[in-house]
Amino acid sequence: MSITAFIGIGSNLGSAKKNCEQAIEHLQNTKCIRLLATSSFYTTAPIGVTEQNWFVNAVVKISTTYNPQELLDNLLSIEKEMGRKARKKWGPREIDLDILFYDQQILSTDSLKIPHPELSHRRFVLEPLNELAPDWNHPQLNKTSGQLLAELPPGQEVNRYSD
């Protein structure tokens, strides 16, 4: 059975936009994943560790027959193939791929939490997610992505990417 999922994509090392585009290509070429839609790219101020390059972020909507752990394993494999190295939390990264939603499932294991626990607080996720799916309902908060975006406090600078 095919499931709809949303994946957050981000990079702030090297050619960040190109890294994001390459990650999307990897997703397109992964068996059991079909790319349904891609948001615009956004430049975003770093959160947490602010003394680093700005990020380029996007969200993709996919259809997959992978279960959540298999999907995560594939995302981690793409990150590794693209040269991601372990660094401090919220630090710079070559590529970051996060499962935001996996249909309406709620899951909490040591390695995976769905929906992504921070997404409702992050403009850099909600802006591109809202572009793709403004009416997507958060299964724990029972609010749409549009509502979550509207409720964010000011701050967290996010701009549509322009070449």
Q: Which residues contact 110 (CB under 8 A, 6 or more apart)?
A: none
DSSP H or E stretch at residue 63:
strand 55-64
User: What is the amino acid identity at position 24?
Assistant: I
The token pair that represents 44 in the structure block: 């975003």
Active-site annotation holder among 73, 98, 123, 160: 98
Is there a contact between 161 and 18 (Cβ–Cβ < 8 Å)? no
87, 96, 110, 122: the catalytic one is 96
Identify whether 98 is a catalytic site residue. Answer: yes
The token duo for 132 is 């793709």
* DSSP assigned state of 54: P
Place of tokens 């700005």: 54
Selected catalytic residue, list 73, 93, 103, 163:
93
Nearest to 97 by CA among 2, 30, 34, 24: 24
d(CA 129, CA 135): 10
Q: Which of 23, 43, 45, 8 is nearest to 126 (CA)?
A: 8
Catalytic residue flag (residue 122): no
Of 73, 84, 123, 163, the catalytic one is 84
Residues recognised as catalytic: 84, 93, 96, 98
